[in-house]
Amino acid sequence: MITDDISRGEACLLCFEDEQATATAAADAAGLPLGVISRHRFPDGELRLKLPQALPAQVVLWRSLHHPNQKLVELLLAAQTARTLGARHLTLVAPYLAYMRQDMAFNPGEAVSQRIVGQFLAGLFDSLITVDPHLHRVVTLDEAVPVNDAVVLSGAPLLADHAASRRNAPLLMGPDEESAQWVGLAAGRHGWDHAVCRKLRRGDHDVSIELPALPVAGRAVVLMDDVASSGHTVAQATRQLLAAGAASVDLAVTHALFAADAVQLIRDAGVGEIWSTDCIAHPTNAVSVVPAVAAVLRQLTGSDGPAPR
């Protein structure tokens, strides 16, 4: 619930107006008062933020980091202002965590953005909660973002349960090798067959897919991944699965980035249903990470439970 006197109590949750619906649900479930940060954009693109006038010692800031570049500046301004207004411990809830894929310099001169952005966030926040971060060579979140408490949740079990309600014993498949961790977790929950495709990427929109040896003819296939962005990898995999005799192909994805015409591209390739979590608000959202995040927030903040209505 939103309150004018947010400084009362031990903790609160702050959000921006474009994520107010999800943040309100999380605040209510975690038993935290909610404050909304207002923004004004000047003609030259600079931002003016306004936070509640006084804050409790523990502050949680909800900000999913799709379209990250402006949002990272927002976090800089909001976090440092929160410290001046009474916050002593800051937790960032970033259901989608940007800049995690570039964990090394693949070519001479490249910025290792994971390391840089991770250090930037660690300089602002004491704790971090995220969902299915795109970690590859770096195994744990606290290696990428060295905060005191780095909590990783997963959308895979939620998506698996939803898929189970929609399809009978589907074949779960990842569009590339990097999806293996989420596919394995989800398949193990229900004892499903699972496999991953092999991907060769030559550019952002130029990929080729090699299907695994596991037979797909007559099977209901669910493609699962942490992120769907351009849609080209999913589209390639779908066309090949249908050509190999799959009865149907659906898509389950934690982070529905879906740039430009990605959804249409995927549907044109033959994908039936698309299910995503609400880490990023999108019409395909089918399951919510809010209960899982709220449970962690109750532990971190010492809240007793859902806020009274």
- Is 104 contained in some domain? yes
Amino acid at 193: D
Supply the pLDDT for residue 102.
84
Reported as a pLDDT band with limits 50, 70 and 90, residue 51 is: very high
Total count of domains within the chain: 2
Supply the pLDDT for residue 309.
34
- The secondary structure of 111-139 as a DSSP string is --HHHHHHHHHHHH-SEEEEES---SSS-
Q: Do residues 42 and 55 both lie within one domain?
A: yes
- Is 306 contained in some domain? no
Q: Do residues 141 and 56 both lie within one domain?
A: yes
Supply the pLDDT for residue 84.
97
Supply the pLDDT for residue 30.
96
- Is 6 contained in some domain? no
Residue 186 reports pLDDT greater than 90: yes
Beta bridge partners of 308: none
What is the average pLDDT across 211-236? 93
Active site residue 71: no
Which residue, 139, 167, 149, is CA-closest to 250?
Answer: 167
- Is 3 contained in some domain? no
Q: Do residues 279 and 297 both lie within one domain?
A: no
Tokens representing residue 83 in the block: 């410290």
- Is 24 contained in some domain? yes
Per-residue pLDDT tens digits for 198-207: 877 666 556 6
Percent of the chain with pLDDT over 90: 80
Residue 216 reports pLDDT greater than 70: yes
What is the average pLDDT across 292-298? 97
Q: Do residues 89 and 132 both lie within one domain?
A: yes
Q: Is residue 132 left, alpha or beta, with left meaning phi > 0 and alpha meaning psi from -120 to 50?
A: left
Supply the pLDDT for residue 260.
85
Supply the pLDDT for residue 1.
46
Domain span at residue 102 reads 11-154+289-301
Percent of the chain with pLDDT over 70: 93
- Is 277 contained in some domain? yes
Reported as a pLDDT band with limits 50, 70 and 90, residue 306 is: low
Q: What whole-number distance in Å separates Cα of residue 225 and Cα of residue 239?
A: 17
- Is 224 contained in some domain? yes
- Is 188 contained in some domain? yes
Q: ∠55-19-224 over CA atoms, to 5°?
A: 130
Supply the pLDDT for residue 16.
98
Q: What whole-number distance in Å separates Cα of residue 17 and Cα of residue 38?
A: 7
Q: What whole-number distance in Å separates Cα of residue 125 and Cα of residue 76?
A: 10
What is the average pLDDT across 1-21? 80
Per-residue pLDDT tens digits for 85-143: 999 999 999 999 999 988 888 889 999 999 999 999 999 999 999 999 988 888 899 99
Please tell me which residue in 134, 199, 232, 255 is annotated as part of the active site: 199
Least confident of 59-63, 153-157, 304-308: 304-308
Q: What is the pTM of this model?
A: 0.92
Residue 78 reports pLDDT greater than 50: yes
Residue 289 reports pLDDT greater than 90: yes
The CATH number of whichever domain residue 128 belongs to comes to: 3.40.50.2020
Q: Do residues 66 and 18 both lie within one domain?
A: yes
Work out the mean pLDDT of the chain and round it to a whole number: 92
Supply the pLDDT for residue 206.
66
What angle do helix axes 68-84 and 113-124 make, rounded to 10 degrees? Answer: 20
Q: What whole-number distance in Å separates Cα of residue 272 and Cα of residue 276?
A: 13
Residues with Cβ within 8 Å of residue 184, at least 6 apart in sequence: 194
- The secondary structure of the chain as a DSSP string is -B-S-TTSSSEEEEEEGGGHHHHHHHHHHHT--EEEEEEEE-TTS-EEEE--SS--SEEEEE---SSHHHHHHHHHHHHHHHHHTT-SEEEEEESS--S-S--S-SSTT---HHHHHHHHHHHH-SEEEEES---SSS-SHHHHS--SEEEEE-SHHHHHHHHHHHSSSPEEEESSGGGHHHHHHHHHHHT--EEE-EEEEEETTEEEEE--SS--TT-EEEEEEEEESSSHHHHHHHHHHHHTT-SEEEEEEEEE---TTHHHHHHHHT---EEEETTS--TTEEE-SHHHHHHHHHHHHT--SSPP-
Reported as a pLDDT band with limits 50, 70 and 90, residue 308 is: very low
